[in-house]
Structure 1
Amino acid sequence: MTFFSRTFDSLQQGLDYAALNNKTIANNIANVDTANYKAREVEFKSILDNELKTNIEAKRTHEKHFTFNEVSNQFNVTTNKGTSYNHNGNNVDIDKEMSNLATNQIHYNAMIDRMNGQFNNLQSVIRGGS
């Protein structure tokens, strides 16, 4: 099933990120009143930027093929220790977390829609285009 493997791999990485992000945001919301709890977030953009700077070369079967970079699907969860919004040392901003949760849900749903579209395309090919 190599025809769809790159697309499925990319969608899977996006879903992995969205799932970890959702878990992290939910944990922040659950600890909104916990003394000295520090909000966490999943880093993605900085990891992507660092990976793209390293310019990992893939094997090309023809000199006219485009080069591309491989990007790791490892995501880091970081803790924001530098701020404190509440008198108890907690720094969870519930409005920000709820906004992040809604944004992440939209991202997750879009990834699921794309994955379903890929499966529908594959099903159509298997059925002979009907």
Structure 2
Amino acid sequence: MNLFSGTTFRMLEQGLNGAQMQHKAISQNIANVDTPNYKAQRVSFEQLLNQELTRSNLEAHRTNEKHVEFKSSSFSSPILTKGNSSYNHNGGNVDIDLEMSELAKNQIYYNGLIDRINGNFSNLKMVIRGGS
């Protein structure tokens, strides 16, 4: 029996992976704030979700034609570049205030996932010790 192959652990792990990818994109944006013509990047949650749905081969039965289909197209990268704007005098579009707030929001999300994983491990530890 594998205690860590349950749906909860897998979903938390995927959440951590997404938060890590988002953190990397935000960090690159902050590092390149003064780079001429650098365009800010974002991780697209929708593309990450579609990749996971494609990977897990989720199938569903539609009872109404208005229901959403579970067919998803394959995306090469969930990283999107905001290339249609220019925010700085050097042609770049990185807004440092926005990036710092996104970094803080992503850190809170990541810490919440870590707390949930720690809670799951605490529950397992309690069960192993016999409820004490």
Matching residue of 1:61: none
Residues 57, 121 of structure 1: alpha-carbon distance in 2 compared, 3 angstrom cutoff: same
Counterpart pick for 1:81 among 80, 83, 92: 83
Task: State the SS of the aligned residue for 1:57.
Answer: coil
Q: CA deviation at 1:45?
A: 3.2
d(CA) in 2 for partners of 1:105, 1:82: 27
2:46 alignment partner in structure 1: 45
Scaled by the length of structure 2, what TM-score is found? 0.76
- How do 1:1-130 residues align onto structure 2 when only pairs under 5 Å count? 1-2=2-3, 5-45=6-46, 47-48=48-49, 51=53, 56-57=58-59, 76-130=78-132
Unaligned runs of 5+ in 1: 59-68
The percent of aligned pairs where both chains have the same amino acid is 55
Q: Which amino acid in the other structure matches residue 42 of structure 2?
A: E
8 Å CA contact retained: 2:40, 2:93: yes
C-alpha distance in 1 between matches for 2:17 and 2:104: 17
Amino acid at match of 1:79: T
Total equivalences in the alignment: 116
Contact kept, 8 Å, 1:41 with 1:77, in 2: the verdict is yes
